[in-house]
Structure formats: C-alpha cells, structure tokens
Amino acid sequence: MKKPTTKLLLTNSFIIVTLLTSCAQHPSIATDNNIDDKVTIYFARHGKTLFNTYDLVQGWADTPLTNQGIKLARYLGEGFKNIQFDAYYTSDAGRQRETMQVLLEQKGVKDYKIRELKGLREVFFGGFEGRPNTKMVYSSMKLSGYNSVDAFYKGYQAGNLPIDVMIDSIAKTDPRHQAENYQQVKTRTQAALQTIVQNAHNNHEKTILAISSGMSMQAMISDLTDNKDKNKPLANATVIKIIYKNGQYNVSEIGNIEYVNKGKEALNQQQMKLTE
C-alpha cells in the first residue's frame, strides 16, 4: 500500500476543519426545537357601529362607532389592563382603528404604533354593502339550506351554518357579482395572521392585540379548529385567542365576552366609589 502524500494529507485536514467550522456556525435541529417561538394573539371584533345599529350590511363599507360602541371598546380596554401587549394591529377600516384607539386610551397605553393589514378587513359583500342585512339573508339563505330568514338566523346563532357555506352563498347571489368568496377571505386573513406571527418572531414580540371584524375572523379560524363555536356569530368586542407554537395554531378562545364583562364591572365599581 502506498503512503499518503503530503498533498493528500493537507486536503483531508482542510475538509475536516471545514466540516467542524460548518457545524459551529449552524445550530443543530435539537437546538432549534428548543427555541421558544410561542406567540399569543388576541383578536377582538370592533365596537358597535352606526350600520350595526341600523342592521345594515357592513363589509368594506365603514361607519363610526356609536356611543355604545365606544363604551364596549372602553370596557374591553379595561378588561385587558393586566395584559401587556407588544404590538397592535387593525385593518385600514375606521371602525377598527377607532376601537383600538379608545381601547388603548382606556388601558393607559400612550406610546404605541398601530400596524395596518388590509387582510384584516371584513368580508366584502359586493352589491349588498349598505343594504339591510335581511335583504342579503333573504337572497342567499336557500343556497345555505334555509327556507326562511328566521330559520337562517336560528341556525347561525346555534353554529349550525358553516361559515364557508354562508360566505359562498352570499357571493353567488351578489347582484353585482363582486362579493368575496370564502376561499378569498380565508386566504387573505390567514396571510395576515402569518404576517403577524412572522413580525412577532422578527421583533421578539410575544403577545399581540388585533382588532378585526366578525365574519372575516370566523373565516380565518375556519380550518384551524374543530370547535363548533367557530360558526357562531361574534358579538361586538368579543375575543378570539390564538396561540402559535412550533408551526401550529391553537384556537383557545372563541367569542369570549369575559374581557368586556370584567372591564365593565371594574369601571362600574370605580364609578360607585366616586359617588360615595
């Protein structure tokens, strides 16, 4: 057998050093798995608006909060007082921005930046925008499997009407043929959710608050949970809580009104002390 040449020994030494250096520069998979990438996002529906009060379709159409809507936002802000948020998101809808501003003022947050994501907008209802909700329901209910407006609302309240069926039925009966379908809404809302998580990782943020709208939030979580509550309508200022960890989304709360109730109770007690 021939002895290895000096050239061959030098080559082998170079390969070994290169491999060792490479291992030092790139963490192992086990180390990566130990990184805490958990992000908690609280999504809240905006406060009550003028169109909500008049029972008119409000998707991309926008109206300001009513006095009751401002109260709800204040209650929610008070209910969130013990939660430290690292970032704040809304869409470009005025009702969502206004809800966030009132909420943060009540919470006592002064130095903040609201990040806007158009993906957090409500469903676009096309030719139904600004018209009575009953008109939209009447036009689309048969495609959803209902023969009366009353039965439709009862089914929706009970969580028996899948959100994908509802949104697609509305889109198919839109007189302008411009309304969003379910896949479009789910795609953009989940893209917004992914952006929030990615930004959180990039900026070392752990707890996020986002204000969005009812049906778009339902579409966002539609395939992230098997909980039947995902199909129930979301009241103004109710909360959906999502926890991201290790590439998975866990929807731990749906339609939670307890933050509002807690804030309302706290503010009422403060008012009682002032009048004593």
pLDDT, greater one: 25 or 226: 226
pLDDT at residue number 21 = 38
- Tell me the pLDDT tens digit for each residue of 125-177: 999 999 999 999 999 999 999 999 999 999 999 999 999 999 999 999 999 99
User: What are the two backbone dihedrals, phi and then psi, of residue 242, each rounded to the nearest 5 degrees?
Assistant: -125, 130
> What is the helix (H) or strand (E) element at residue 66, kind and residue range?
none
Q: Is 40 helix (H, G, I), strand (E, B) or coil?
A: strand
Confidence of residue 19 (pLDDT cuts 50, 70, 90): very low
**CATH class, range 39-56+64-124+181-272:** alpha beta
Mean pLDDT of 77-103: 98
Pairwise CA distance, residues 230 & 217, whole Å = 9
pLDDT classification of 273: cutoffs 50, 70, 90: confident
Give 37-58 pLDDT, tens digit per residue. Answer: 999 999 999 999 999 999 999 9
Each domain of the chain, given as residue ranges in start order, spans 39-56+64-124+181-272
| SS3 of residue 171 by DSSP | helix
What mean pLDDT is predicted for residues 78-106? 98
